[in-house]
Structure 1
Amino acid sequence: HMSYLTDLYRDNKLVQPGALAINGTPLDLGRVATPTYVQAGREDHIAPAESVWKMTHYFKGPLKFVLAGSGHIAGVVNPPSAQKYQYWTNSEKVGTLAEFFAGAKETKGSWWPDWIDWLGALDAAKVPAKGARIPGKGKLEPLEDAPGSYVRMR
């Protein structure tokens, strides 16, 4: 837990090419060319919108930023059926969150339909949902017994 806090929060190593690695593979967000949907909560005190906005400067591929109304949990977990809050979008490429917001279109309700539309525009093909995977019962072998080695790492 300490390395998570120091590496990602204090030292912000995720945005430093090669500063972090997963299983020996160095990470470089600038090489991420897949489409990216970045969502921030306007009143989020855990992942402030201004901090989340900075992620838009690191990815190489197509990117959409959406600013949701409310905070950390309610800004994300806001199903359309709740008919709550709002979100902002802006199709112009801008440099700052303030510029994004100044030119943004406000839409009432959940941002989830926007995300679904964004996904559909990337690839309209759909596959049927499958049931939850039961470790050891599928085609893939479990990597290790629960809870996993990451829990015991220091």
Structure 2
Amino acid sequence: MGGTFLAIILAYLKVKKLDCTNSATFFTTLLDYTSPGELGVFFNENTMKYIKEDMDLKGYFDGKYLSNTFSLLRVNDLIWTFFVNNYLLGKNPMAFDLLYWNADSTNLPAKMYQEYLQNTYYNNLLKEPNTLDVLGTKIDLGKVDCNSFFVAAKEDHIAPWRSIYDGMKLINGDKIFCLTDSGHVAGVVNPPKTTKYNYRLNDDLSLNSREWLLKATEHKGSWWDCWLNWLIKNNTELVKSLDYKNLIAIEEAPGSYVKK
């Protein structure tokens, strides 16, 4: 969702003539929801109605529902493996940092999540110029022209890489499309020291996704170094960090919201 919101904000800033962005990075981001992949089966009229009713009662969308939805897309890896090994065989779960992080699901504000689903998965408003209304302003992704770096994962079951590639074409400016190995999480969280997964690049973004992949060059190791060099090239001045010591805290971490 973060990358989708970033694109919306960038388009909004262009309409308001607030040109303050040097570059933008999109991790596993869908902008065109024509083919959302397996996740799309969950977003129909009945499920949208159920989600709205549940959020109206709670005031937020329960993060556990989203976590369970992702697990249902990979039942063998994310459900039955643990049922067999831990419940039937009595084995202790093996330590896995990514799965531990992934299990920390986040509750989402009701109005935000409802509008997100309606405008993207259900109605795909970002695809058509001047269709989505943001704070009373119609936006057009085609007006976004800052340099951008798109990262997609070849085995991503949540945001299919081919759909990410198609959505990337909705915005303008100089773009890099980087296709990494693995899935939605491990494809992005791929530190250089692991050298576990490779990535692919192809400057010709006029091709369709199939042709792009056939002509892409595979590079060994993590995509992080490529991205870092791109960031340095596109952002010559460093932004000053916030003075955290003098910021007034609303309450102590992690905050009451995440404890619900």
TM-score range, shorter chain: 0.7 to 0.9
Residue identity opposite 2:198 in structure 1: Q
Question: When you count helix as a share of all residues, which structure comes out higher?
Answer: 2
Partner of residue 5, structure 1: 117
Q: Which has the higher contact order (CA 8 A, sep 6+)?
A: 2
Tell me which residue corresponds to 1:150: none
How far 1:19 sits from its partner (Å)?
1.9
Moved more, 90-99 or 32-41: 90-99
The 1:130/1:94 distance shift into structure 2, 3 A limit, reads same
Give the aligned partner of residue 38 of structure 1: 150
Aligned to 1:78: 190
TM-score by length of 2: 0.48
SS in 2 for 1:117: helix
Match of 2:241 among 116, 125, 130: 130
- Say yes or no: does 1:67 pair with 2:179: yes
Cα distance in 1, alignment partners of residues 149 and 141 from structure 2: 14
Deviation at 1:56, TM superposition (A): 2.5
**Gap regions ≥5 residues in structure 2:** 1-112, 249-255
How many pairs does the alignment contain? 139
In the other structure, the counterpart of 1:110 is 222
Q: What's the secondary structure of 1:19's corresponding residue? A: coil
**Radius of gyration: which is bigger?**
2
Show the counterpart of 2:163. Answer: 51
Quote the Cα distance in structure 2 between the aligned partners of 1:133 and 1:9: 38
**RMSD of aligned residue pairs (Cα, Å):** 2.5
The match for 2:17 is none
How far is the alpha carbon of 1:32 from its aligned partner? 0.3
SS in 1 for 2:119: helix
Distance in 2, matches of 1:31 and 1:17, equals: 9
Q: Which ranges in structure 1 are unaligned for 5 or more consecutive residues?
A: 138-145, 148-154
Deviation of the 1:44 alpha carbon: 0.4
